[in-house]
Structure 1
Amino acid sequence: MADVRWGILGASNFAAQHMGPALHAAAGGSLEALATRSPEKADRFKDIAPNLKVHESYDALIADPGVDAVYIPLPNTLHVDWTLKALEAGKHVLTEKPVAMQADEIDTLIKARDQSGKLAAEAYMIVFHPQWHHVRDLIAKGAIGTLQHVQGMFCFNNGDQPENIRNQADLGGGAMRDIGVYVIGSTRFVTGAEPTEVSARIRWESGFDVFSDISARFGSVTYSACVSTRLNPYQSMTFHGSLGSIHLTAPFNGPVFGDTCVILRRAGHDESVARFNGARQYDLQVAAFNQSATTGVAYPCPLEFSKGTQVMMDAAFENAQSLD
């Protein structure tokens, strides 16, 4: 099958720094087009793909017969509409997280995906990172005994950037939707369980959450996690079992954050450290998407998985108590 020819809607910094290079470098595809009304913003993408075709509108890009798949890094509130438009135009679609603002919107996307015969998915890259498969395998084989508690944290501080879309309520900003998907989705991926008894304590600022303390149960496993866009950068995930623990030092964007290590600690055993600094999770994600789009093999992270994470976020918001 021919390689997947990618187009990007919008010249976001994240697309230029991470996903643009991955779309062009990953096996089975190449970056061919970009939609932006600012020619100067296209220059960074032309450094990635010198023959890049630049469209002045999103509609023009999704109508381009030279584009097979569309990557959508637009503000959160625009994700559903443009995913649907791209599917209707006969394109495969990879949309940034969160793919929707509410779980029922994902049902609409699933229906459109199935009717189109094209692949549509959320850009949830961590499930393609080998460290997460390593953690899931360790827990499945009982390396820490019976899993009893999961503890997570992901935060950074963008309080000095009022223009940032993550600080704009009308664009779907806030900590939960931007980074809560990671502490939630990773736990669902590892345990294979869905949460109950979901609650949260949230600090609000101008209509969006800047600190969310989330609690839940995954079967018999208790869960506690915090996400914030007003704290010093930090991230970790720890899985506590009856016989040991597993700690991830850079669970979500290592080695940008730091050394990507999975540390296994068990009483009576030497500490075991597995390092994953060489893994390129964005490339792995795109390569898997390309393979599924061209061969029809099942995509490892379908919209149905994304809906489960959104269901938990919806419940956290619904059951939240304000900290202010």
Structure 2
Amino acid sequence: MIVRWGILGAANFARQHMGPAIHAAKGADLVALATGSADKAEGFRAFCPGLRVHPTYDALLTDREIDAVYVPLPNHMHVDWTLKALDAGKHVLCEKPMTMQAAEFHTLMARRDQTGLLAAEAFMIVHHPQWQWVKEQVAGGGIGNLVHVSGRFSYDNRDPGNIRNRSDTGGGALRDIGVYVFGSTRFVTGEEPVEVASRIRWESGVDTFSEITASFPGFTYSAYVSTRLHPAQEMVFHGEAGLIRLATPFNANVFGMAQAELHRPGLEVMVKRWPGENHYVRQVEAFGHSIRTGEAYPCPLEFSYGTQEMIDRAFDEAVTL
């Protein structure tokens, strides 16, 4: 079975990354796009010439030749259009953050279960082999007992009109990139935070810098995210008998090559690289595999709920800088 995909909206990210990934993925066929802009549609037809274009989102959802929908709309629109797509009989892969509040996941889970369709947040990094390797190393005692996890993720975006800088569209650093420093830690360890504290700098109602500390049952945690700093990303898992450092944990092939350093006693360092691995393509293929076989999807709504809950707690416990 080939999963036939439609995209709700001609977002730049969809044109640059997820559209090409759907087009390239095995077992997937990108057949339709919803946009009222002929110019934006041409950007997609450049790599998918036969693409069918619908003038509205509702028109795409009524297309009987679409099995699954990818939703790259602004954050505050994710829940409504995911529910509409499920009601239209489409499987849904929605960009992160899928909700503005963790409680909204209960509505999504209920509708998923009611329709029997697959709905998930597009948290692509769990499909990348570097993260699967880190999870195996930590679980298998490759660095001994895990003691501390640290992370950072930043970029510089000062455009006031950009949706990431607007409070009415669910912008801000925590929602845009906090999901990565939070979700990757939860994915690797399988643990949930016991305590969360944060310090946040705000601009026009949007968080532009957040410093987070947390206690998990087995380790401590610290991280920061920002939309006003020089681009940087890193995750470190520090154990009693070793350390794992990821140099490009989140934007493999964009920020740099996916690479992990395993530091062991005696100053031994093993470097592992994954050149060319595309986590977006792997995500689409995993989604299609779950549709075809009924096997559990690697990143279900229940997992994404936990990350959003941690984001909510960071907001709730924030001290303003």
The interval holding the TM-score normalised by the smaller chain is over 0.9
- After superposition, the C-alpha distances for 1:18-64 in whole angstroms (9 at most, x for unaligned) are 00001111111111000001111000111121111101100000111
Aligned residues: 321
Is 1:212 equivalent to 2:213 in the alignment?
Answer: no
Distance in 1, matches of 2:16 and 2:253, equals 14
Distance in 1, matches of 2:19 and 2:45, equals 10
Match of 2:178 in 1: 180
Match of 1:95 in 2: 94
Is 1:73 equivalent to 2:67 in the alignment?
Answer: no
Distance in 1, matches of 2:291 and 2:206, equals 36
Per the TM alignment, residue 210 of structure 1 is displaced from its structure 2 partner at its CA by 0.3
| Aligned pair partner of 1:292 in 290, 293, 308 | 290
Distance in 1, matches of 2:4 and 2:140, equals 40
Per the TM alignment, residue 140 of structure 1 is displaced from its structure 2 partner at its CA by 1.2
Distance in 2, matches of 1:69 and 1:255, equals 26
Match of 1:273 in 2: 271
Distance in 2, matches of 1:283 and 1:220, equals 33
TM-score where L is the length of structure 1: 0.98
Distance in 1, matches of 2:19 and 2:260, equals 28
Opposite residue 251 of structure 2, the aligned amino acid is N
Is 1:109 equivalent to 2:132 in the alignment?
Answer: no
Per the TM alignment, residue 259 of structure 1 is displaced from its structure 2 partner at its CA by 2.5
Per the TM alignment, residue 269 of structure 1 is displaced from its structure 2 partner at its CA by 4.8
| Aligned pair partner of 1:243 in 241, 244, 260 | 241
* Partners of 2:252 and 2:278 within 8 A in 1: no
Match of 2:131 in 1: 132
Match of 2:200 in 1: 202
Is 1:123 equivalent to 2:122 in the alignment?
Answer: yes
**Unaligned segments of structure 1, at least 5 residues:** none
Opposite residue 119 of structure 1, the aligned amino acid is L
Per the TM alignment, residue 223 of structure 1 is displaced from its structure 2 partner at its CA by 0.2
| Structure 1 ranges of 4+ moved more than 3 A | none
The Cα RMSD (Å) is: 0.8
Match of 2:150 in 1: 151
Find the residue that maps to 2:209 and give its secondary structure: strand
Per the TM alignment, residue 220 of structure 1 is displaced from its structure 2 partner at its CA by 2.7
Per the TM alignment, residue 255 of structure 1 is displaced from its structure 2 partner at its CA by 2.2
Distance in 2, matches of 1:228 and 1:10, equals 26
- After superposition, the C-alpha distances for 1:271-299 in whole angstroms (9 at most, x for unaligned) are 10000122110000000001111221111
TM-score where L is the length of structure 2: 0.99
Distance in 2, matches of 1:42 and 1:239, equals 42
Distance in 1, matches of 2:148 and 2:98, equals 28
- After superposition, the C-alpha distances for 1:201-226 in whole angstroms (9 at most, x for unaligned) are 00001001000101111213000000
Per the TM alignment, residue 168 of structure 1 is displaced from its structure 2 partner at its CA by 0.6
Distance in 1, matches of 2:25 and 2:129, equals 16
Opposite residue 46 of structure 1, the aligned amino acid is R
Distance in 2, matches of 1:199 and 1:103, equals 17
Match of 1:6 in 2: 5
Per the TM alignment, residue 142 of structure 1 is displaced from its structure 2 partner at its CA by 1.2
Distance in 2, matches of 1:43 and 1:295, equals 34
* Partners of 2:144 and 2:239 within 8 A in 1: yes
Match of 2:18 in 1: 19
Is 1:264 equivalent to 2:262 in the alignment?
Answer: yes
Matches within 5 A, 1:308-319: 308-319=306-317
Per the TM alignment, residue 270 of structure 1 is displaced from its structure 2 partner at its CA by 2.1
Opposite residue 220 of structure 1, the aligned amino acid is G
Match of 1:171 in 2: 169
Per the TM alignment, residue 135 of structure 1 is displaced from its structure 2 partner at its CA by 0.6
Distance in 2, matches of 1:98 and 1:62, equals 22
Opposite residue 64 of structure 1, the aligned amino acid is D
Identity %: 61
Distance in 2, matches of 1:47 and 1:298, equals 34
Is 1:254 equivalent to 2:252 in the alignment?
Answer: yes
Distance in 2, matches of 1:236 and 1:259, equals 12
Find the residue that maps to 1:271 and give its secondary structure: strand
Opposite residue 121 of structure 1, the aligned amino acid is A
Per the TM alignment, residue 194 of structure 1 is displaced from its structure 2 partner at its CA by 0.5
